[in-house]
Chains A and B, each alone.
Chain A
Amino acid sequence: MKCRVCGEPASISLKAYSTALCAPDFISFLENRTLTTIKKYHLIEEGEKPIIAVSGGKDSLSIWSMLNKLGYPADGIYIHLGIGDYSDISLSRIIKMADILKRKVYTFNIRNVLGKSVDELARAMKRVPCSACGMIKRYVMNRICMDKGYTTLVTGHNIDDEAAALFGNMLYWKEEYLGKKNLVLEGMEGHLSKKVKPFFLCSEREIAAYAILNNIDYIHDECPFSVGAKTLIYKGILNKLEESSPGTKIQFIKGYLKTFAAHKKEDGERADSFCSKCGYPTYGDICNFCRVIERLNIEGHIHFDEYNASSLDSSEQLVT
């Protein structure tokens, strides 16, 4: 196949768009699409200070690298879950990227702070590790923004993540979750940071190709707790559909956004009370994280380790 732009041998075929591109043209294509998404949906606006939730995988390292390249300087936040070598290798990839970008990365080490790894904490909570992980991440990601003055939390969620989650919620008709996913989740002043997903319309395949073509050294191993996860099964099913009918996933998600946009005003259901301990939004008196900390008698003081590869002023504001 030849590149549709320059006629050189292509590096990737994009069947959903009936095209194929060489390495430089594909990199431009994905960067332009992400930039268009950021601007069209007002993901990061002038004066905002973004921070990237980094895991060491292809998605988060790619968005971190890309945003800095596109003129959105951003630091990173990593949650070290204490999952043996997997967590340590992930951190090493993140530090490497921080050095390349000359940015700061904060690390929240749950064993150092809470005295337990994520699986130990999950056992104590009588939950599965993924549930404990989600709860910790939601809290810590918000906390870093509130404590350090970041206005916008950026995650590397892609179209496959969103389509799989939507597919799962529809299969079991979890109406309470339908309509809640979006490219932007608005914040609440002093309580909740704004969350954005610039890769919402990009596929995992495209992001992996971007990472490879830019020599981004990401961790290929999967989280050991994700084995057998339903999300992976849904992704497999959606990819079978995509292979036989290219463009299915983008149609699914764009159709959802159209429907979501139409019903957005009707859906005003949001937590309207705040945790009496931390002040973050909750449906009860106290949020899940604070409840667990209290129930397990964990007295760790929430703090972040800081790795600063930045030569820039840490109070730097985004200039677009």
Chain B
Amino acid sequence: MGQGKGEGERLVKSLHAVFDNTRPVCYVLAMKVECDGKTLEYDKPMAIYKLMEHLLLNKETYLAMVNNRLVTEDYKAGKDDEVKFIKVVSGG
């Protein structure tokens, strides 16, 4: 009830991925994003600047790394990528 056709199909596909014994189980279903000690998951590719807007991160305050490589804000991160935002501000 209330679920669109697309969402329903995605759910069925995920369940198949988990319970289908004929192929290896893949646990990487989404792009992992680490920021300020928290880990989030996104299920669709997204440009770094979009992610930063979504997470309300200032582009002067954070650097973005994808799979341990420094990238610019226009880089499009995919579902198997591990994105990490590094806070650069320090001092007191």
Contacts and interface: CB of A to CB of B under 8 A. Distances in A.
Q: Are A and B subunits of one complex?
A: yes
B58 interface: yes
A308 B33 CA distance: 41
B73 A222 contact: no
B40 interface: no
B53 to A, nearest CB: 11
Given A11-B69, A130-B92, A232-B91, A208 B63 contact: yes
B91 to A, nearest CB: 5
A229 B91 contact: yes
A13 B73 contact: yes
A-B pairs, 10 with minimum CB distance: A226-B92, A229-B92, A208-B88, A239-B60, A11-B70, A1-B72, A13-B72, A204-B88, A242-B60, A205-B88
Contacts, number: 76
Interface in B63-92: 63, 65, 69-74, 86-92
Contacts of A212: 63, 65, 70, 86
A62 to B, nearest CB: 12
Contact of B58 (A1, A23, A222, A239): A239
Interface in A1-47: 1, 10-13, 15, 20, 23
A205 B63 contact: yes
Given A203-B60, A205-B60, A222 B70 contact: no
B59 interface: yes
Interface in B36-74: 58-61, 63, 65, 69-74
Given A205-B63, A239-B58, A213 B92 contact: no
B5 to A, nearest CB: 38
A162 to B, nearest CB: 11
Contacts of A226: 90-92
B86 A208 contact: yes
Interface residues of B, number: 19
Contacts of B65: 212
Interface string A194-215: 0000000001110111001100
B10 to A, nearest CB: 32
Interface string A148-186: 000000000000110010000000000000000000000
19 contacts: A10-B72, A13-B74, A57-B90, A161-B91, A205-B60, A205-B63, A205-B88, A209-B88, A212-B63, A212-B65, A220-B86, A222-B90, A226-B90, A227-B92, A232-B92, A235-B89, A239-B58, A239-B61, A243-B60
Contact of B72 (A11, A235, A239): A11
A235 B92 CA distance: 10
Contacts of A15: 59
A58 interface: yes
Contacts of B74: 1, 13
Contacts of B60: 203, 205, 239, 242-243
Contacts of A11: 69-72
B92 A223 contact: yes
A209 B70 contact: yes
A1 B73 CA distance: 8
B58 A12 contact: no
Contacts of B90: 57-59, 204, 222, 226
A58 B86 CA distance: 12
Contacts of B70: 11-12, 23, 209, 212-213
Nearest to A246: B60
